[in-house]
């Protein structure tokens, strides 16, 4: 009996080994297939990201340099004939002085400063150049006259003097210099006249025109009449205001709601319902939040249109579910052993949560929060519905002022008709937005690793 089993066991074992080997071959094949598919998926994803970045960078980097005109400007007393600036000692009262000062400035504004711009350019052009004033004035950006007037208002002693000034080249000049426009196109299709183009080439050759870093992008607000001076400052500050409101509102409310729901709320129908609805809210298209914002904050609460306050509130509503869900997930992941240890020591529930549970989940909550904010930072759709896509040429000083936001500014520039100039500048704006996002994500990663090391 015993020997029988031993005899029959040997071939049985051999056939079993073969069976295992067969199935192993299948398993190995599946494993390799899965790995290859995974690798392929990652390569495709990375490829697209690289393509996107490469495209944005290729287009955007040239926009960080800009054409400047270096000319000698004479503040001609014949043109500037409004008399000297009033001084305070000429007047008995402050009010009279202010009124006179305002009148002087208004008179200055009514002068034709373009004459001075024109004179400066003619002086810079080689002798014998024939060009009409219109063509000549298309070379510098149209804000040149404001720049000169502001210089004079700040320093009236410039009257009659000649000073070297850097003026921005117009968007069309910039296009021509950078080769963004096809030089072989006929006169009818060129934005600049033949004389102007020739003069630009001369200026470029003699160094009157040079390219420098485009500070305008960072120091100026948006502009339509002077596209070359259009910058992101207004949008950037608008975004900062909104993010401030999101951080101040969404983070405490979201984290507090998550803590209450996860740790304190009795498990009941109502809490289940709330949970389901929070999950649903996270999936609501963001433009719907914009509609809600328009209906509630603007129509009902009468908050101002285009204000970062309203934008911040809308983005807060949009970010809340993300923060609540992520925080609850983090709280759920805390080991029951830690909770029991705290309760076993006689800690109250609140003490357990605040002394033990929150500190260990803090890094996750922080990461979730920063990612939520980064998401809000890039959000455009809801802002369009509350009027933040309006053209705003000022820096919002308070969250109640009109403003726009970085992603909306990108949207606005993308739609600008001067494609040759604004396509690179849009890409540059995208790069700035990406830089802010990468900074936020980097901060999340850094803070997380630091806090985890400490814990």
Partner 1 sequence: MDVLAGKVKVTQKTLDQTMNPAELMDHPIRLTARDVTVHYGAKQALHGISIDIPDRAVTAFIGPSGCGKSTFLRCINRMNDTIEGAKVGGRIELDGQDIYDPKLDVVELRARIGMVFQKPNPFPKSIYDNVAYGPRIHGLARNKADLDEIVVSSLRKAGLFEEVKDRLSEPGTGLSGGQQQRLCIARAIAVGPEVILMDEPCSALDPIATAIIEELIDELRENYTIVIVTHSMQQAARVSQKTAFFHLGNLIEQGDTEDIFTNPVNKQTQDYIMGRIG
Residues within the interface to partner 1 (CB under 8 A): 267, 335, 337-348, 351, 355-356, 359-360, 455
Residue 138 near residue 170, CB atoms below 8 Å: yes
Closest separation between CB of residue 361 and partner 1, Å?
A: 11
126 vs 266, which CB is nearer to partner 1?
266
Closest separation between CB of residue 255 and partner 1, Å?
A: 20
Which residues does residue 166 pair with via DSSP β-bridges, in sequence order? 70
- The total of other beta-carbon atoms located within 10 Å of residue 419's CB is 13
Closest separation between CB of residue 340 and partner 1, Å?
A: 6
351 vs 418, which CB is nearer to partner 1?
351
Backbone angles phi, psi at 209, to 5 degrees: -100, 130
DSSP for 7-47?
Answer: HHHHHHHHHHHHHHHHHHHHHHHHHHHHHHHHHHHHHHHHH
Closest separation between CB of residue 262 and partner 1, Å?
A: 13
Closest separation between CB of residue 354 and partner 1, Å?
A: 11
158 vs 347, which CB is nearer to partner 1?
347
First-to-final CA distance of the chain? 65
Closest separation between CB of residue 364 and partner 1, Å?
A: 14
207 vs 344, which CB is nearer to partner 1?
344
Closest separation between CB of residue 363 and partner 1, Å?
A: 12
Tokens at residue 334, please?
A: 């805390």
Q: What is the dihedral of CA 170, 172, 175, 181, to 10 degrees?
A: 180
Sorted by sequence, the CB contacts under 8 Å of residue 265 that are 6+ apart come out as: 271
Q: Residue 274 CA to chain centroid, in angstroms? A: 34
Sorted by sequence, the CB contacts under 8 Å of residue 436 that are 6+ apart come out as: 239, 377, 406
Closest separation between CB of residue 264 and partner 1, Å?
A: 13
| 3-class state of residue 403 by DSSP | coil
| 3-class state of residue 265 by DSSP | coil
157 vs 335, which CB is nearer to partner 1?
335
Closest separation between CB of residue 366 and partner 1, Å?
A: 16
296 vs 447, which CB is nearer to partner 1?
447
Closest listed residue to residue 370, CA positions, set 314, 313, 436 = 436
188 vs 455, which CB is nearer to partner 1?
455
Question: In angstroms, rounded to a whole number, what is the distance separating the alpha carbons of residues 367 and 363?
Answer: 6
Closest separation between CB of residue 270 and partner 1, Å?
A: 16
Sorted by sequence, the CB contacts under 8 Å of residue 187 that are 6+ apart come out as: 193, 194
Which residues does residue 67 pair with via DSSP β-bridges, in sequence order? 211
Closest listed residue to residue 147, CA positions, set 163, 123, 135, 131 = 163
37 vs 338, which CB is nearer to partner 1?
338
Backbone angles phi, psi at 164, to 5 degrees: -80, 130
341 vs 438, which CB is nearer to partner 1?
341
**Quick one: the chain helix, strand, coil %, rounded to 5?**
70, 5, 25
Residue 322 near residue 375, CB atoms below 8 Å: yes
Closest separation between CB of residue 345 and partner 1, Å?
A: 5
235 vs 352, which CB is nearer to partner 1?
352
Quote the DSSP letter at residue 128.
Answer: T
224 vs 355, which CB is nearer to partner 1?
355
């Amino acid at each position: 009996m015993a020997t029988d089993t031993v005899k029959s066991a040997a071939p049985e074992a051999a056939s079993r080994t073969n069976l295992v080997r067969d199935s192993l071959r299948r398993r190995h094949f599946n494993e390799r297939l899965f790995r290859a598919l995974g690798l392929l998926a990652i390569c495709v994803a990375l490829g697209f990201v690289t393509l996107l970045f490469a495209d944005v960078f290729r287009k955007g980097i040239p926009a960080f340099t800009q054409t400047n005109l270096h000319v000698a400007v004479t503040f001609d007393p014949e043109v500037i004939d409004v008399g000297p600036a009033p001084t305070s000692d000429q007047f008995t009262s402050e009010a009279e002085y202010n009124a006179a000062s305002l009148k002087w400035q208004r008179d200055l504004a009514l002068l034709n400063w373009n004459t001075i711009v024109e004179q400066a350019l003619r002086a810079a052009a080689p002798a014998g150049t024939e060009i009409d004033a219109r063509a000549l004035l298309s070379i510098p950006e149209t804000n040149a006259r404001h720049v000169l007037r502001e210089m004079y208002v700040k320093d009236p002693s410039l009257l009659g003097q000649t000073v070297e000034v850097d003026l921005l080249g117009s968007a069309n000049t910039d296009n021509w210099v950078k080769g963004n426009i096809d030089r072989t196109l006929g006169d009818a299709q060129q934005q600049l006249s033949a004389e102007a183009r020739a003069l630009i080439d001369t200026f470029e050759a003699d160094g009157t025109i040079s390219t420098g870093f485009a500070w305008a992008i960072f120091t100026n607000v948006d502009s339509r009449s002077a596209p070359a001076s259009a910058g992101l400052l207004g949008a950037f500050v608008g975004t900062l205001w909104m993010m401030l409101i999101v951080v101040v509102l969404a983070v405490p409310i979201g984290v507090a709601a998550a803590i209450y729901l996860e740790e304190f709320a009795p498990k009941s129908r109502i809490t289940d319902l709330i949970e389901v609805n929070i999950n649903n809210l996270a999936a609501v298209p963001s433009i719907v939040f914009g509609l809600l914002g328009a209906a509630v904050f603007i129509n009902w609460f009468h908050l101002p249109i285009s204000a970062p306050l309203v934008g911040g509130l809308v983005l807060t509503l949009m970010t809340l579910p993300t923060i609540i869900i992520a925080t609850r997930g983090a709280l759920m992941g805390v080991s029951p052993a830690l909770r029991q240890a705290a309760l076993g020591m006689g800690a109250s529930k609140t003490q357990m949560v605040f002394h033990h549970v929150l500190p260990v989940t803090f890094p996750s909550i922080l990461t979730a929060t920063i990612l939520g904010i980064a998401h809000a930072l890039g959000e455009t759709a809801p802002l369009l519905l509350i009027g933040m896509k309006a053209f705003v040429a000022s820096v919002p000083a308070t969250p109640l002022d009109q403003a726009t936001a970085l992603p909306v500014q990108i949207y606005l520039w993308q739609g600008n008709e001067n494609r040759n100039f604004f396509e690179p500048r849009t890409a540059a704006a995208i790069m700035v937005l990406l830089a802010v996002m990468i900074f936020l994500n980097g901060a999340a990663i850094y803070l997380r690793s630091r806090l985890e090391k400490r814990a």
